[in-house]
Amino acid sequence: MRKDIQPKYEEVTVHCACGNTFKAGSTQEEIRVEICSACHPFFTGKQKNIEKGGRIDKFKKRFNLD
């Protein structure tokens, strides 16, 4: 078998969009995620409006619900 064909498994820093950082093991150098256990509604118990862009306003405007 050939030697040294597996990627190096190292401890990396994971960065969340909420600003939280933590250490994890990976073959990548750095990991960026959109949602983590510090900001996920299941773990925090708080519902947060993640959808942005005015979808509700677009819907109301399209069907004249104002």
Task: List, as residue ranges, the binding site for Zn(2+).
Answer: 16, 18, 36, 39
Residues 6+ away with beta carbon under 8 Å from 40: none
Q: What residues contact 29, with CB distance under 8 A and at least 6 apart? A: 12
**By C-alpha distance, which of 45, 36, 44 is closest to 18?**
36
**What residue numbers does the annotated binding site cover?**
16, 18, 36, 39
